[in-house]
A and B are shown apart, each in its own frame.
Chain A
Amino acid sequence: MASPRVCVLRAPGTNCDVETAYAFDSCGGRSDRVHLFRLIERPTLLDDYQILCIPGGFSYGDDIGAGVVFSSQLRGHLGDVVHQFLTADKLVLGICNGFQTLLKAGVLPYGAAGWGKSDRSEADATLTWNHNGKYTARWVHLTVGGSKNVFLRDISELDLPIAHAEGRLVPRSADVVETWRNQHQIAIQYAPWAAGSDGASNPINDRWEANPNGAVAEIAGLSDPSGRVLGLMPHPERFLFATQHPQWTRLNLEGSGAGLKLFQNGIDYFA
Chain B
Amino acid sequence: MLWEVEIRPSAHEIDREGLRIVQEAHDLRASTISQVESARSFLLQGTSLNAADIKRAASMLLVDPVAERFEIREVSEGEVTVSNSMKSATLLNVMYKPGVTDNVATSTQKALIDLGFTVDTVATVRKYWFEASVSTSDLDRVTKRVLANDAVERVISGPIRMSKIGAGSDYQFQLRTVPIRTMDDHALKDLSKYGQLYLSLTEMQTIKQHWVDQQRDPTDIELETVAQTWSEHCSHKTLKGRIRYRDESGEHVFENMLKETIFGATVEIRRRLGADDWCVSVFKDNAGVVKFDDKQHVCFKVETHNHPSAIEPYGGANTGIGGVIRDPLGTGLGAKPILNTDVFCFAPPDTPVASLPPGVLHPKLVMKGVVSGVRDYGNRMGIPTVNGAVFFDERYLGNPLVYCGTAAMIPVDRVEKTVHPGDLIVAVGGRTGRDGIHGATFSSAELTQESETISGGAVQIGNAVVEKMVADVVLQARDLGLYHAITDCGAGGFSSAVGEMGEEVGAVVWLDKCPLKYTGLSYTEIWISEAQERMVLAVPPDKWDEFHAICEAEGVEASAIGQFGNAGRLRLTYHGETVGDVAMSFLHDGRPHVTRDAFYTPPGETPLGGVAATNRNLSDHLNTTLKKILGSLNVCSKEWIIRQYDHEVQSGSVVKPLVGVACDGPSDASVVRPDLTSYRGVVVSNGMNPHYGDSDPYWMAAAAIDEAVRNCVAVGADPARIAILDNFCWGNTERAETLGSLVRAAIGCKDTAIAFGTPFISGKDSLNNEFSYVDAETGEKRTVAIPSSLLISAIGQVADIRRCVTMDLKKSGNILYLVGVTRAELGGSHYALVNQLKGGRIPHVDMSVAPRIFSAVHKSIELGLIRSCHDLSEGGLAVAASEMAFAGGFGVELELSQLAKASGLSDPASLLFSESTTRFLIEVEPAQSSRIEKEFAGLPLTQIGQVVSSGRVRATLENGQLLLDQECAELKAAWQSPLAWD
Tell me the A residues contacting B by CB distance below 8 Å.
12-13, 15-16, 18-19, 22-23, 35, 37-38, 56-58, 60-61, 63-65, 68-69, 72-73, 76, 118-126, 128-129, 132-139, 161, 163, 170-172, 203-204, 206-207, 235, 237-238, 240-241, 243-244, 246-247, 249-250, 254
Chain B: which residue is nearest A257 at the CB level?
Answer: B651
B111 within 8 A of A: yes
B648 touches A243 (CB 8 A): no
> Considering only CB atoms, which chain B residue lies closest to A13 in the complex?
B465
Residues of A near B273 (CB, < 8 A) are none
Report yes or no: A18 in contact with B60, Cβ–Cβ below 8 A.
no
Within 8 Å CB of A172, what residues of B? 66
Do residues A64 and B643 form an inter-chain contact, with CB atoms below 8 A? no
- The answer to whether A64 touches B379 (Cβ under 8 A) is no
Q: Provide the B642-657 mask, 1 if CB < 8 A to any CB of A, else 0.
A: 1111111111011110
**Are B468 and A238 in contact (CB-based, < 8 A)?**
no
Q: Do the beta carbons of A163 and B661 come within 8 Å of each other?
A: no
Task: Please report which residues of chain B, range 793-838, place their CB below 8 angstroms from some CB of chain A when the two chains form the complex.
Answer: 801-802, 804-806, 808, 810
Contact A238 B651 (CB under 8 A): yes
Q: In the complex, how many angstroms separate the beta carbon of B623 from the nearest chain A beta carbon?
A: 24
B381: interface (CB < 8 Å): yes
Give the contact stretch, choosing among B100-108, B486-494, B496-504, B839-847.
Answer: B100-108
Chain B residues lying within 8 Å of A69, measured Cβ to Cβ, are: 61, 107, 111
Of the A-B pairs whose beta carbons lie under 8 Å apart in the complex, a sample of 19, sorted by A's number, is A22-B651, A61-B103, A61-B104, A61-B107, A64-B108, A69-B111, A73-B114, A118-B60, A120-B59, A128-B66, A133-B16, A134-B644, A136-B644, A137-B647, A139-B663, A163-B379, A163-B648, A171-B66, A204-B661
A60 touches B465 (CB 8 A): yes
Say yes or no for B27: interface residue by CB 8 A criterion: no
Q: Taking the complex as formed, is B440 at the interface, i.e. its CB lies under 8 A from any CB of chain A?
A: no
A244 neighbours in B (Cβ, 8 Å): 648, 651, 653-654
Contact of A246 among B56, B65, B659 (CB under 8 A): B659
Shortest Cβ distance from residue B198 to the other chain A in the assembled complex, whole angstroms: 35
Q: Are A207 and B664 in contact (CB under 8 A)?
A: yes
Please give, as numbers and ranges, the residues of chain B lying within 8 Å of A129 by CB-CB distance.
16, 67
CA distance A95 to B16 in the complex (A): 26
Known contacts A60-B465, A244-B648; A15/B381 CB under 8 A: yes
Question: Which residue of chain B lies nearest to A59 when distances are taken between CB atoms in the complex?
Answer: B465
Report, nearest first, the 6 A-B pairs whose CB atoms are least far apart. Answer: A15-B382, A63-B107, A19-B651, A126-B66, A61-B465, A13-B465
Which residues from A are CB-within-8-Å of B804? Answer: 243, 249
* Chain B residue at minimum C-beta to C-beta distance from A133: B16
Task: Please judge, given known A-B contacts A64-B111, A139-B663, whether A22 and B676 are in contact too, CB under 8 Å.
Answer: yes
Q: Is B240 an interface residue (CB 8 A)?
A: no
> In the complex, are the beta carbons of A128 and B64 less than 8 A apart?
yes
Cβ–Cβ < 8 Å partners of B611 in chain A: none
CA–CA, A206 to B114, complex, Å? 48
The interface residues of chain A lying within 8 Å CB-to-CB of B593 are none
* Chain A residue contacts of B111, Cβ below 8 A: 60, 64, 68-69, 72
Q: How many A-B residue pairs have CB under 8 A?
A: 179
B444–chain A nearest beta-carbon distance, Å: 32
Contact at A122–B65, with CB atoms within 8 Å? yes
In the complex, B592 has a CB within 8 A of chain A? no
Residues of A within 8 A of B808 (CB): 249-250
Flag B421-450 by CB within 8 Å of A: 1 or 0 each.
Answer: 000000000000000000000000000000
Residue from the list B555, B805, B982 in contact with A37, Cβ < 8 A:
B555
A35 & B66 in contact (Cβ 8 Å cutoff): no
- Say whether A18 contacts B650, CB under 8 Å: yes
The docked-state distance in angstroms from the alpha carbon of A60 to that of B676 is: 27
Residues in A with CB closer than 8 Å to B66 are 123-126, 128, 170-172
Most chain B CB inside 10 Å of its own CB: which residue of A126, A203, A250:
A250
Q: Is B553 an interface residue (CB 8 A)?
A: yes
Expressed in whole angstroms, the minimum distance between the Cβ of B548 and any Cβ of chain A is 15
CB within 8 Å of A: which B454-498 residues: 463-465, 468-469
Chain B residue with the shortest CB-CB distance to A203: B662
| Inter-chain contacts of A124 with B (CB < 8 A) | 66
Is B141 engaged at the interface, CB distance under 8 Å to the other chain?
no
Nearest to B104 among chain A residues (CB) is A63
- Is B115 at the interface (CB under 8 A from chain A)? yes
Residues of B within 8 A of A (CB): 13, 16, 20, 56, 59-62, 64-67, 103-104, 106-108, 111, 114-115, 375, 379-382, 463-465, 468-469, 553-555, 642-651, 653-656, 658-664, 673, 676, 801-802, 804-806, 808, 810, 868, 888-889, 982
Decide: A247 near B661, CB < 8 A? Known: A18-B650, A72-B60, A235-B648: yes
Q: Is the CB of B465 within 8 A of A58?
A: yes
Please pick, from B115, B646, B673, the residue contacting A163 in the complex, using a CB distance under 8 A. B646
Complex CA–CA separation, A62 to B108 (angstroms): 10
A13 vs B470: C-alpha distance when bound (angstroms):
10
Please report the C-alpha to C-alpha distance between residue A38 and residue B555 in the assembled complex, in whole angstroms: 11
Cβ-defined contact, B468 with A170, below 8 A? no
Chain B residue with Cβ nearest A126:
B66
Give chain B residues whose Cβ lies under 8 Å from the Cβ of A121. 59, 65
Q: A13-B465, A203-B661 are in contact. Are A249 and B64 (CB under 8 A)?
A: no
Given A121-B65, A126-B64: A206 touches B465 (CB 8 Å cut-off):
no
Q: How many angstroms between the C-alpha atoms of A122 and B64 in the bound complex?
A: 11
In the complex, what distance in Å separates the CA atom of A56 from the CA atom of B382? 9
A contact residues around B468 at 8 Å (CB): 12-13, 15
For A135, list chain B residues within 8 Å (CB). 375, 379, 644, 646
Q: Are A163 and B649 in contact (CB under 8 A)?
A: yes
A176 to B281, CA, bound (A): 60
Check A63–B103 contact: CB distance below 8 A: yes
CA distance A177 to B103 in the complex (A): 35
Complex contacts, B673 vs chain A, CB 8 Å: 243
- B663 contact from A12, A76, A171, A204, Cβ within 8 A: A204
B492 to chain A minimum Cβ distance, whole angstroms, is: 27
Q: With A137-B645, A250-B810, A254-B802 in contact, do A12 and B554 touch (Cβ < 8 Å)?
A: yes
Contacts of B810 in A (CB 8 A): 249-250
Whether the pair A120, B65 counts as a contact (CB closer than 8 A) is yes
What residue in chain A is nearest B57 (Cβ atoms)?
A119
Which residues of A are found within 8 Å of B553, using beta-carbon distances?
35, 37-38
A4 to B654, CA, bound (A): 30
Q: Which residues of B contact A133 (CB under 8 A)?
A: 16, 20
Nearest residue, chain B, Cβ from A200: B889
Residue ID in chain B nearest A15 by CB atoms: B382
Closest to A214 in B: B14
Q: Within the assembled complex, what's the spacing in Å between the Cα atoms of A254 and B802?
A: 8
Kindly list chain B residues whose C-beta atoms are within 8 Å of the C-beta of A125. Answer: 66
Contacts of A243 in B (CB 8 A): 654, 673, 801-802, 804
Contact B65 A238 (CB under 8 A): no
B655 contacts across to A, CB distance below 8 A: 249
Residues of A within 8 A of B643 (CB): 136-138
Q: Contacting A128 at CB < 8 Å: which of B20, B67, B107?
A: B67
Q: How far is the CA of A139 from the CA of B662 in the complex (A)?
A: 10
The CA-CA distance from A4 to B813 in the complex, in Å, is 52
Nearest residue in B to A58 (C-beta to C-beta)?
A: B380
Tell me how far the C-beta of B171 lies from the nearest C-beta in chain A, rounded to whole angstroms: 29
- Give the shortest distance, in Å, between A148 (CB) and chain B (any CB): 26
How near does chain A come to B24, taking the closest CB pair, in angstroms? 13
Name the residue on B nearest A243 (C-beta).
B654
Contact status B889-A76, CB under 8 Å: no
B637 to chain A, nearest CB (A): 11
Contact of A119 among B59, B653, B801, B802 (CB under 8 A): B59
Shortest CB–CB separation between residue B336 and chain A, in angstroms? 9
B61 to A: closest C-beta gap in Å: 6
Kindly list chain B residues whose C-beta atoms are within 8 Å of the C-beta of A35. Answer: 553-554
- A57-B382, A204-B662, A246-B658 are known contacts; what are 16 more A-B pairs with Cβ within 8 Å? A16-B649, A35-B553, A61-B103, A64-B111, A118-B60, A119-B59, A132-B982, A170-B66, A203-B661, A238-B648, A238-B653, A244-B648, A244-B651, A249-B804, A250-B888, A254-B802
Q: In the bound complex, do residue A12 and residue B555 qualify as a contact, i.e. CB atoms below 8 Å apart? A: yes
Residue of A nearest to B115 (CB): A76
